[in-house]
């Protein structure tokens, strides 16, 4: 066995020597602390891959089966680790295959740097083989992008790319590098990290007057409610957030991507917001007298009908992105800034109050939801297996310690509602874009981003098939990802909408799937299918205990619905329990 080599750059930083653009790219990645890259080589990135051949001791490259797998893996890596994820693709189709994941990273504020190969600079604009104008294509869905045509630009542009991707409100950056620049030799004088761009202000300046105004509103409130989003996690402000709610004693609820910022079992945690969120926080959004929104962006799936959203309440909005303030919901007091900085300032000024009667209102609605929805979902007793009871068993077996990566649809909502998270960065899912096919590759990336943690992908039968090819990546790299396919033989959420709003006209939502266990077996991934309730607990225990990748298919209730539900276009007050 080889001893681990010290992770230093190949090229000493203080000497000037000639290196290729391709080597300069890898030097930049090493200098930025990258350890894992997800990608596939192609004609316009072959020079980078040639250089990568000598960097095996410093950069782990995971060969995916499709570029969409690479970008989702990079997202999963970023979400579980808090570091910048990296995807590497060639020009043309390689680059365009990244697009869905880039859009996903943009709307979910995930820091990723995508490096795409491009045709020779001399061929740009000539419809050359595998040429595509990826800069224009990716423009609206990247935080920044840039095309490099000369190798000398590589160190400074990549330094900017990493700086922009990870700072402020994070997001995806795409750097397109022409083949001539990859091959070009130039005098390299080391890599300098970027920490300032004059036209880019990652964080707005904190205005103490707004903090004071916000504190006054909080101290005067009788029925306040905190709603938080992923901003708390992206800002590494979980402790600051917990300190704030504990000092003030204010009940709080989370958006889909905010889940896990504080433990699911925290006594002030009132559950999930939005279309399939919990009954109490949705109804009470329209009854509270003060809404304190922290690192969330009032997505339409959270607000329901906007002109009937929290009209009775004053609104305090804490956000790092000034463009989010007043975008959907007008703020009474805008608290611009990084919540890691603003929350402690606010905590200092707020007083503890006992909101016993207000909390009792939450408890009453929680009881309603428990009786009508939750009992039946988690403890059905007879009939077909429900998605909820699968998640309940998973909670009991993992004790809330696992990272759960869910796909998109009914199972995603059920997972978000019922999965227990003890730690931040445990809930990974495609929120804003709702990208089916996200879970499997994102779970691979999440595992590389948090190697010591158990990673479980939960997907439906529809979404699982949208990036099913990544089973090959899992096989080749023996990635320890547990996969649960909740199979209801439908595109379940679509079927639910068709049942509720289109007179059960199941137009093209009925799905015939392959034998998933046999497919996994073809990739030499062991697995099991469960059809009976009696087998379920043991089967999940086997999955959790298994060393290495494993697939468990559970045949679940064919026409199960996710409730509560706020129908699209309706006010939160019209939330339905059935």
Partner 1 sequence: MSINITEGNSLREYNITVYSENSVGLSGRITGIFTRRKINIESLNTSPSEISGIYRFTILICQSYCVTQKLLRQIEKLTEVIKVYCHTDEQVVWQELALYKIPAQATKAARVDLEKILRIYGTRAIALEDNYTILETTGQRQESKKMLEVLSPYGLIEFVRTARIAIIKESSGFIEKLREFEAGS
| Residue ranges that bind partner 1, judged by CB under 8 A | 135-136, 139-140, 143-145, 147, 164, 196-201, 205, 321-323, 325-327
CA–CA distance, 231 with 419 (Å, rounded to integer): 20
Q: Which of 83, 160, 179, 340 is catalytic?
A: 179
Pairing of β 172-178 and β 144-148: parallel
Identify whether 230 is a catalytic site residue: no
Identify whether 131 is a catalytic site residue: no
Please identify, using beta-carbon distances, which residue of 68 and 167 lies nearer to partner 1.
167
CA–CA distance, 455 with 448 (Å, rounded to integer): 10
Write the CA distances from 361 to 9, 124, 286, 292, 365, integer angstroms.
59, 64, 13, 18, 7
Q: Which of 27, 32, 38, 67 is catalytic?
A: 67
Helix axes of 339-349 and 238-248: crossing angle, nearest 10 degrees:
20
Three-state DSSP state, 565: strand
Identify whether 516 is a catalytic site residue: no
Please identify, using beta-carbon distances, which residue of 11 and 174 lies nearer to partner 1.
174
Identify whether 389 is a catalytic site residue: no
Minimum distance between the CB of residue 563 and partner 1, rounded to whole angstroms? 34
405 CA to centre of own chain: 9
Minimum distance between the CB of residue 378 and partner 1, rounded to whole angstroms? 42
Closest CA to 82 of 306, 186, 233: 233
CA–CA distance, 70 with 39 (Å, rounded to integer): 5
Please identify, using beta-carbon distances, which residue of 205 and 360 lies nearer to partner 1.
205
Q: Which of 18, 129, 222, 367 is catalytic?
A: 129
Please identify, using beta-carbon distances, which residue of 144 and 438 lies nearer to partner 1.
144
Minimum distance between the CB of residue 114 and partner 1, rounded to whole angstroms? 16
Closest CA to 280 of 373, 367, 378: 367
Please identify, using beta-carbon distances, which residue of 66 and 143 lies nearer to partner 1.
143
Q: Which of 60, 120, 130, 396 is catalytic?
A: 130
What own/partner pairs with CB < 8 Å and gap ≥ 24 does 207-215 have?
207/336, 207/337, 208/345, 210/333, 210/334, 210/335, 210/336, 211/335, 211/342, 211/345, 211/346, 211/349, 212/349, 213/333, 214/292, 214/316, 214/318, 214/333, 214/335, 214/346, 215/346, 215/349, 215/350
Identify whether 565 is a catalytic site residue: no
Please identify, using beta-carbon distances, which residue of 251 and 334 lies nearer to partner 1.
334
Minimum distance between the CB of residue 124 and partner 1, rounded to whole angstroms? 12
Minimum distance between the CB of residue 226 and partner 1, rounded to whole angstroms? 24
Q: Which of 493, 516, 528, 553 is catalytic?
A: 493
In this structure, are residues 416 and 427 in contact, taking their beta carbons and an 8 Å threshold? yes
Minimum distance between the CB of residue 311 and partner 1, rounded to whole angstroms? 17
Catalytic residues: 67, 129-130, 179, 493
């Amino acid at each position: 066995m080889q001893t681990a080599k010290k992770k230093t750059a190949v090229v000493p930083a203080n000497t000037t020597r000639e290196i290729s653009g391709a080597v300069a790219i890898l030097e930049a990645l090493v200098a930025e602390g990258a350890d894992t890259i997800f990608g596939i080589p192609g004609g316009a990135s072959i020079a980078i891959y040639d250089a990568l051949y000598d960097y095996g001791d410093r950069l782990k490259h995971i060969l995916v089966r499709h570029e969409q797998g690479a970008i989702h893996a990079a997202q999963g890596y970023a979400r579980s680790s808090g570091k910048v994820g990296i995807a590497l693709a060639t020009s043309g189709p390689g680059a365009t295959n990244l697009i869905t994941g880039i859009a996903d990273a943009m709307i979910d504020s995930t820091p990723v740097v995508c490096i795409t190969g491009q045709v020779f600079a001399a061929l740009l604009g000539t419809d050359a083989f595998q040429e595509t104008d990826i800069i224009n294509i990716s423009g609206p869905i990247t935080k920044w992008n840039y095309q490099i045509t000369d190798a000398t630009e590589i160190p400074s542009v990549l330094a900017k790319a990493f700086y922009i991707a990870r700072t402020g409100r994070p997001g995806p950056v795409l750097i397109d590098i022409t083949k001539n620049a990859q091959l070009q030799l130039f005098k390299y004088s080391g890599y300098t990290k970027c920490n300032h761009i004059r036209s880019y202000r990652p964080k707005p300046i904190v205005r103490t007057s707004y903090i004071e105004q916000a504190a006054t509103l909080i101290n005067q409130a009788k029925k306040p409610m905190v709603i938080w989003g992923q901003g708390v996690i992206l800002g590494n402000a979980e402790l600051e957030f917990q300190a704030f709610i504990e000092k003030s004693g204010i009940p709080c609820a989370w958006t889909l991507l905010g889940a896990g910022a504080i433990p699911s079992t925290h006594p002030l945690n009132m559950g999930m917001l939005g279309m399939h969120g919990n009954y109490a926080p949705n109804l009470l959004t329209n009854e509270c007298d003060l809404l304190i929104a922290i690192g969330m962006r009032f997505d339409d799936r959270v607000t329901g009908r906007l002109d009937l959203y929290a009209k009775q309440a004053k609104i305090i909005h804490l956000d790092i992105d000034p463009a989010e303030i007043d975008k959907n919901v007008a703020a009474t007091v805008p608290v611009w800034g990084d919540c890691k900085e603003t929350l402690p300032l606010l905590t200092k000024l707020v007083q503890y109050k006992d909101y016993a009667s207000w909390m009792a209102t939450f408890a009453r609605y929680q009881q309603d939801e428990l009786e009508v929805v939750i009992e039946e979902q988690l403890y059905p007793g007879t009939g077909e297996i429900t998605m909820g009871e699968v998640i309940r068993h998973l909670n009991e077996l993992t004790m809330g310690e696992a990272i759960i990566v869910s796909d998109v649809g009914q199972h995603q909502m059920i997972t978000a509602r019922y999965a227990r998270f003890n730690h931040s960065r445990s809930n990974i899912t495609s929120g804003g874009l709702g990208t089916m096919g996200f879970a499997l590759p994102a779970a691979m990336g999440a595992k590389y981003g948090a190697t010591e943690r158990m990673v479980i992908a939960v997907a439906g039968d529809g979404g699982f098939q949208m990036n099913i090819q990544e089973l090959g990546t899992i096989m080749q790299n023996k990635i320890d990802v547990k996969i649960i396919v909740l199979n209801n033989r439908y595109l379940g959420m679509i079927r639910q909408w068709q049942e509720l709003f289109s007179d059960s006209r199941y137009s093209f939502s009925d799905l015939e799937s392959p034998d998933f266990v046999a497919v996994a077996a073809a990739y030499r991934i062991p697995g099991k299918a469960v059809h009976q309730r009696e087998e379920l607990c043991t089967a999940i225990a086997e999955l959790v205990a298994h060393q290495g990748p494993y697939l468990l298919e559970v045949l679940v209730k064919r026409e199960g619905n996710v409730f509560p539900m706020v129908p699209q276009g309706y006010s939160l007050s019209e939330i339905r329990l059935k």
